[in-house]
Amino acid sequence: MASPASGLKRFLFWDYPRAGWQYDVMVGLILAFIFLTPRDVFRDQPKASNIVMLPAEHGTNVFWMDSEQLSSVPENERTAKASVLIKARTGKKYDVIRLEPIVDSEQEIKGYMAFTTP
């Protein structure tokens, strides 16, 4: 008769034959964990890039910027900081002509739309 320690050792090191019932139970437990565990448990949500170039018209370029990028910058310096961040992200110099905050229904800033000229 096997001791509990040897059973635990066999379980941890996956020491069961492939067609055995123990193997099937282990695979079932793994699949249950994968498919039944909510994503929120691991806080592993996809996150978009902090600066994204969007389609634009009439010779201007539009960038969406995450609110965290400019949250600590004083309002009168945000346009200049946005230009620096866009240049660091793209490698090209863009002049920001307008910076509009994007707010949600509670009036919290979720991001900024930076309108630029090349």
Nearest Cα to Cα of residue 102 among 71, 55, 59, 64: 64
Kindly state the DSSP code that residue 40 receives in the 8-state scheme.
G
In a domain, 46, yes or no: no
Divide the 118 residues of the chain into consecutive groups of 10 and give the mean pLDDT of each group: 77 81 89 89 70 78 87 87 88 88 89 86
| pTM, to two decimals | 0.56
* CA–CA dist 118, 43 (Å, integer): 38
Whole-angstrom distance, CA of residue 63 vs CA of residue 49: 11
Same structural domain for residues 12 and 60?
Answer: no
**Residue 20 burial (CB count, 10 A):** 10
Q: Are residues 30 and 65 in the same domain?
A: no
Domain containing 88 equals 51-117
The reply to whether 65 and 98 lie within a common domain is yes
Encoded tokens for 57: 């018209």
How many domains is the chain built from? 2
| 11 and 65 both lie in a single domain | no
